[in-house]
């Protein structure tokens, strides 16, 4: 028993040490106390074009006025940003920010719930606002993140978080706004790690699809029984999915292959779900259909090698332009956690391969806000919207030109320091080696 207690104590101390080592030192910004006016900037409004030599005034966390030579309130702080660019805060979709910290340390990973069908799991509950990763992501202009559980067939529900909070309650913007499903595989693979025969794979694929259909059927039966006023035991799983049937929640289907996408569309239409396709590498193959059915896409492969031998080398880079040309309603995502900081550059890379620059900016700001039902508050620079703003010396989408000088979330000044900047500043001071 003493050995067990010693082992338990050691494990608890180790867990505490890990927790302390991954808590960042940046203090969340204080509530806006006075009006602030950003003067003489180039405003990328998203909805009303690009406005040069324009001022932006915000107070009490909201944008009050936009225009040239705005009158500055007597109690306002004026910040001259001549030559700099102003953007709405970037919104990252399909992330595990705050859920994962260090891949090699199991105690810091909390994105994957045990079980195959766990729709009741909510991403924001496990969100770690003190994650060391968050400041590094903010540094590139990402102010908000959709936090998504992963793993299993029905992974759970996503929540929208702002990235400058003391805890998950402080950071929460929209809770449980959609249910996430990993669509079953529809194809057979021939690779070293797949030991099953083609026949076994097809059988497993069919069984997985049938299991998912049964999940939908059970959830629908539960919804119908509740609506009919029947006295039935409460089931947390089906309670979490009620919103899919009364249109208060979206169904996010994670799938890549064309056959998966088509299958997901067919099944979703039979229930009338508010469907959003996530990942969607093959979305370009059915772009006309997606545009016709007005199915939103969160394109999650903006970088990477071609999936197939006969795909073009630039397939990942050029897909956003092809979706835009077909009229598909889409956002751009960079799934993951620490690498989410590259999201603005992924959008910029799509511009290099044919996507209009304003559409690229919209794909990481207003479109994610629309998909998550918060476009009345976020995603563009408009009077009445929240003052969630980033200021950069150069193009936000250009890795060579981007250089943030200010970030505000709901009017609060946010620190742009991080573990990365601390280390950079430290080693800038390292004495040169003497010969």
pLDDT tens by residue, 63-96: 999 999 999 999 999 999 999 999 999 999 999 9
The domain made up of 26-88+380-415 is a member of CATH 3.40.30.10:
no
Length of the chain: 435
Instruction: Give dist(CA 381, CA 322) in Å, integer.
Output: 27
The predicted pLDDT at position 4 comes to: 38
CATH superfamily of 89-377: Metal-dependent hydrolases (3.20.20.140)
Q: Give the long-range contacts of residues 237-242, CB within 8 A, separation 24 or more.
A: 237/117, 237/118, 237/119, 237/120, 238/119, 239/120, 240/119, 240/120, 240/156, 240/157, 240/176, 240/179, 241/119, 241/179
Closest CA to 159 of 240, 85, 57: 240
pLDDT digits (tens, 9 = 90+) for 373-388: 999 999 999 999 999 9
pTM exceeds 0.75, yes or no = yes
pLDDT in tens, the chain (435 residues): 333 344 444 444 444 444 444 556 789 999 999 999 999 999 999 999 999 999 999 999 999 999 999 999 999 999 999 999 999 999 999 999 999 999 888 888 988 889 999 999 999 999 999 999 999 999 999 999 999 999 899 999 999 999 999 999 999 999 999 999 999 999 988 888 889 999 999 999 999 999 999 999 999 999 999 999 999 999 999 999 999 999 999 999 999 999 999 999 999 999 999 999 999 999 999 999 999 999 999 999 999 889 888 999 999 999 999 999 999 999 999 999 999 999 999 999 999 999 999 999 999 999 999 999 999 999 999 999 999 999 999 999 999 999 999 999 999 999 999 989 999 999 999 998 876
Beta 275-279 vs 297-299: how paired, if at all?
parallel
Residue boundaries of the structural domains of the chain: 26-88+380-415, 89-377
DSSP 4-46: HHHHHHHHHHHHHHHHHHTB--PPPPPPP-S-EEEEEEEEE-S
Instruction: Give dist(CA 369, CA 102) in Å, integer.
Output: 29
The predicted pLDDT at position 24 comes to: 63
What dihedral do alpha carbons 186, 189, 194, 195 form, nearest 10°? 100
Instruction: Give dist(CA 168, CA 161) in Å, integer.
Output: 8
Cα-only R_g, the chain: 23
The predicted pLDDT at position 435 comes to: 63
Closest CA to 276 of 258, 294, 263, 259: 294
């Amino acid at each position: 028993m003493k050995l067990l207690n010693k082992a338990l104590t050691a494990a608890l101390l180790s867990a505490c040490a890990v927790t302390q080592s991954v808590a960042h030192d940046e203090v969340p910004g204080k509530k806006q106390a006075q009006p602030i006016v950003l003067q003489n900037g180039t405003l990328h409004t998203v909805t009303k074009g690009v406005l040069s030599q324009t001022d932006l005034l915000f107070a009490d966390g909201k944008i009050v006025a936009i225009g040239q030579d705005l009158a500055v309130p007597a109690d306002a702080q004026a910040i001259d940003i001549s030559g700099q660019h102003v953007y709405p805060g970037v919104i990252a979709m399909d992330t595990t920010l705050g859920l994962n910290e260090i891949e090699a340390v199991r105690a810091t990973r909390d994105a994957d719930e045990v079980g195959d069908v766990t729709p009741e799991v909510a991403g924001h509950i496990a969100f770690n606002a003190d994650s060391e990763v968050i400041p590094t992501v903010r540094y590139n202009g990402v102010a908000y993140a959709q936090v998504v559980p992963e793993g299993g067939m029905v992974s759970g529900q996503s929540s929208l978080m702002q990235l400058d909070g003391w805890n998950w309650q402080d950071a929460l913007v929209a809770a449980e706004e959609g249910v996430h499903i990993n669509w079953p595989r529809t194809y057979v693979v021939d690779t070293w790690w797949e030991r099953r025969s083609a026949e076994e794979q097809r059988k497993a694929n069919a069984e997985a699809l049938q299991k998912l259909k049964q999940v939908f059927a059970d959830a629908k039966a539960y919804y119908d029984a509740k609506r009919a006023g029947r006295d039935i035991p409460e089931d947390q799983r089906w309670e979490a999915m009620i919103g899919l049937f009364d249109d208060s929640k979206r169904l996010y289907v994670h799938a890549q292959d064309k056959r998966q996408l088509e299958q997901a569309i067919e099944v979703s239409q039979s229930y009338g779900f508010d469907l959003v396709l996530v990942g969607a590498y093959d979305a370009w193959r059915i772009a006309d259909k997606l545009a016709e059915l007005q199915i939103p896409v969160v394109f999650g492969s903006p970088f990477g090698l071609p999936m197939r031998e006969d795909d073009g080398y630039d397939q990942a880079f050029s897909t956003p332009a092809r979706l835009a040309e077909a009229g598909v309603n889409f956002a751009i995502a960079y799934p993951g956690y620490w690498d989410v900081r590259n999201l603005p550059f992924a959008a910029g890379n799509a511009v290099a391969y044919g996507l209009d620059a304003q559409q690229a900016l919209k794909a990481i700001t207003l479109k994610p806000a629309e998909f998550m039902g918060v476009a009345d508050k976020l995603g563009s620079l408009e009077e009445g919207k929240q003052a969630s703003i980033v200021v950069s010396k150069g193009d936000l989408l250009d890795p060579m030109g981007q250089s943030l000088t200010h970030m505000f979330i709901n009017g609060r000044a946010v620190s742009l320091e991080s573990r990365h900047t601390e280390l950079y500043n430290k080693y800038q001071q390292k004495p040169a080696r003497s010969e």
